Amino acid sequence: MAPADRVLLVEDDPALRRVVEVSLTVRGYQVDTAASASTALELTEHHPDLIVVDLGLPDMDGVDLVSRLRTSSTVPILVASARDARTAKVAALQAGADDYLPKPFDVEQLLIRIRTLLSSQPPNGDPLRSSA
Ligand code: CA
């Protein structure tokens, strides 16, 4: 059996963080949570298979966090934000995010996006990615 996919959830809202963490855990994901960008950068040492990033973080803008993550990793990044969807989406995608989900979101919708991103990845963290 393949090891569980590990998701790093970066979200400073404790209630939302908990809801998403529980939803992912019951579906068999290994979940690391971070309430700040600095914690998120530390937890990348756990080699997550996917990172969910909130844009409004206490210590760093989420777009800047995505840029930082992209300097060293091709891990799929899903940005979730309540910011004006059009401009925030462009900024997040330009920084290297793979997908953007406007808040408030339905958790089922988040799970579908996560599954889609993970299934488009080669197994076992192969850093080679399709350019398609
Ligand atoms: Ca936030």
DSSP single-letter state for residue 36: S
Tell me the chain's radius of gyration from C-alpha atoms.
13
Rounded distance from Cα 3 to ligand 1 centre (Å): 30
Q: How many CB atoms lie within 10 A of CB 28?
A: 8
Read off the pLDDT of residues 47-79 as tens digits, 9 standing for 90 and up: 999 999 999 999 999 999 999 999 999 999 999
Rounded distance from Cα 12 to ligand 1 centre (Å): 5
The confidence band for 44, taking pLDDT boundaries of 50, 70 and 90, is: very high
**Integer Cα distance of 37 and 55 in angstroms:** 10
Distances (CA, A) of 99 to 45, 107, 115: 22, 15, 12
Q: Which residues contact 43 (CB under 8 A, 6 or more apart)?
A: 8, 32, 34
Rounded distance from Cα 126 to ligand 1 centre (Å): 31
The pLDDT of residue 132 is above 90? no
Question: What's the pLDDT score for residue 130?
Answer: 46
Rounded distance from Cα 132 to ligand 1 centre (Å): 31
Read off the pLDDT of residues 81-127 as tens digits, 9 standing for 90 and up: 998 878 999 999 999 999 999 999 999 999 999 999 999 876 655 55
- Residue 83 half-sphere exposure toward CB, CA atoms < 13 A: 19
**Superfamily of structural domain 6-117:** Response regulator (3.40.50.2300)
- The domain locations on the chain are 6-117
Q: Rounded to the nearest 5 degrees, what angle is found at the Cα of 93, between the Cα atoms of 87 and 99?
A: 105
Rounded to two decimals, the pTM is 0.89
Rounded distance from Cα 130 to ligand 1 centre (Å): 31
Rounded distance from Cα 54 to ligand 1 centre (Å): 6
Answer with the residue of higher pLDDT: 132 or 107.
Answer: 107
